[in-house]
Structure 1
Amino acid sequence: MIQSHLGEIYSFITAICWTVTAVSFELAGKKIGSLSVNYIRLIIGFILISLITTFSRGMALPLDASSHEWIWLSISGFVGFVIGDLFLFQSFLEIGSRISMLIMALVPPITAFLGFITINEVITITDFLGMVITIFGIFVVVLVRNPEGNNF
């Protein structure tokens, strides 16, 4: 029984982890600032990923990568981990983790739409219906006022 629903179970656990992470980063950002939270997260993340890659690949950094790969890896890391997460953590402070995470839920429909426009990806009726339901749900939650005034 459980084996046939592992995808749903893992999805639910992932959603819980994302929620706990967002709320934790929001609370930490309110105490020490979003920039400090991002620095601390980057340092801890670098240490942990270095440990994992040391055990899994025998080296802390991808020293076997070419200079071309290092350039793209550096650009990707800087844009995603530094700039993107800095804006994300600041959004947790400005509009709260609840609204920030809901806005992030718009990424898949936007990506599908951009794929349709730029590289002629096919969007089926089911795909389109899923995007409409997602966007409608986000609008409903965003437009509902939270009476307690907190963002959780």
Structure 2
Amino acid sequence: MLPAILTTLLWSCSAICAARSAKIVGGAPANLARMIVGAALLGLCAHTAGRSLLGGPALPWFIASGFIGFGLGDVAMFGAIGRIGPRLTMLLTHCLAAPLAAITEWLWLGTNLGWQEIACALVILGGVALALAPDRGAKIPRRTFWIGVLCGIGSAAGQGFGSVLSRKASAFYPATHGVVEGMIGGATAAYERIVPGILVALAFFLLARRTAEKREPRAWPLAWPWIIGNALAGPSIGVAVYQWGVATTPTGILMPIVATVPVITQFLAWKIEGHHPTRRTVLGGVIAVAGVIALAAASGNLKLG
């Protein structure tokens, strides 16, 4: 449960940094830059502390996971955000990825969840859906809307299936004991995932460059602090913690908790940028957090009373 909560906090900070850097230099360049920085940091850890874990039978599964999750999933997410906006994109991604991953893991790996855990996961996803549901009256052309929805479903599939592939790969890793071993194993797994993801991000960057708005070169020095912050909280430390969670926690428990990231991000944006959340966002956030606490209790990670 600890990796899931840490991942949620780190990825929420990453989202704020990502938004700032994308405004300065554009989404595709910022995404590629943060992945390159993240890969360098993960590689440093993997080739020193995690050297004994590199390669082996887990490698093909991590490569497939990175291609699907880091690569295709992220490209689909960017495609959805540009067409239907971030709120509906995050709603589709997080609320579909969790059940897709849980069902896939059940059918393929035989992982079962108790009814209490399933109920709590549904409460969390319901709270997220309430908080992120877009306002009525948004005028989006029908064709653009449905292409965006398909991209959002693709983003969810990338995240969900990529996580299950990582869980399959983690079965080949030795059992971890404690935070340090979990982080080293997670960083090594994240490194093996991010390399194929960078190749997809690079291809997307080259395609997007043809139609991208020209940015001033002097904008990059302003963006680098946000890119580095995004790389630390996202693809390096954030994904390392997430991989630690994947190795120790069923995706049906892990992913509903991580689905609260966009809700937490809105509250961080309130504190940092002054964007006040709506009453519906607050109510949805309270429901989601209550579901997380109940899920922790149901899975034996929290003692109540």
TM norm structure 1? 0.65
Q: 2:171 aligns with which of 16, 30, 36?
A: 30
The farther-off stretch of 49-58 and 101-110 is 49-58
Aligned length: 140
Judged with a 3 Å threshold, the aligned counterparts in structure 2 of structure 1 residues 3 and 140 are, in CA distance, closer, same or farther, namely farther
CA distance in 2, matches of 1:9, 1:53: 21
Is 1:72 aligned with 2:213?
Answer: no
Q: Which amino acid aligns with 2:250?
A: G
Structure 1 vs Structure 2 CA RMSD: 3.5
Q: 1:126 aligns with which of 280, 283, 287?
A: 280
1:108 matched to which residue of 2?
Answer: 262
CA distance in 1, matches of 2:277, 2:208: 39
| Deviation by residue 1:110-139 (Cα, 9 ceiling, x = unmatched) | 233334445543233222222233334444
Gaps of 5+ in 2: 1-141, 174-184, 211-215, 300-305
CA shift for structure 1 position 89: 0.5
Is 1:43 aligned with 2:184?
Answer: no
The 3-state SS of whatever aligns with 1:92 is: helix
| Deviation by residue 1:20-71 (Cα, 9 ceiling, x = unmatched) | 121111111222454443222221122222233334437xxxxx85562574
Q: 2:246 aligns with which of 92, 98, 104?
A: 92
CA distance in 1, matches of 2:281, 2:287: 10
Judged with a 3 Å threshold, the aligned counterparts in structure 2 of structure 1 residues 65 and 39 are, in CA distance, closer, same or farther, namely farther
Q: Which amino acid aligns with 2:190?
A: N
Say whether the 8 Å CA contact 2:187–2:236 is kept in structure 1: no
Say whether the 8 Å CA contact 2:186–2:243 is kept in structure 1: yes
TM norm structure 2? 0.37
| Deviation by residue 1:92-121 (Cα, 9 ceiling, x = unmatched) | 112232222122122233233334445543
Judged with a 3 Å threshold, the aligned counterparts in structure 2 of structure 1 residues 116 and 73 are, in CA distance, closer, same or farther, namely closer
CA distance in 2, matches of 1:88, 1:97: 11
Q: 2:162 aligns with which of 1, 21, 24?
A: 21
The 3-state SS of whatever aligns with 1:123 is: coil
Q: Which amino acid aligns with 1:128?
A: V
| Deviation by residue 1:61-90 (Cα, 9 ceiling, x = unmatched) | xxx855625743751463121221111101
Q: Which amino acid aligns with 1:29?
A: S
Judged with a 3 Å threshold, the aligned counterparts in structure 2 of structure 1 residues 39 and 113 are, in CA distance, closer, same or farther, namely closer
Listed as ranges, the matches of 1:136-147 within 5 Å are 136-144=290-298
CA distance in 2, matches of 1:136, 1:45: 34
Gaps of 5+ in 1: 59-63, 146-152
Judged with a 3 Å threshold, the aligned counterparts in structure 2 of structure 1 residues 70 and 42 are, in CA distance, closer, same or farther, namely farther
CA distance in 2, matches of 1:107, 1:42: 21
Listed as ranges, the matches of 1:1-16 within 5 Å are 6=146, 10-16=151-157
Q: Which amino acid aligns with 1:54?
A: L
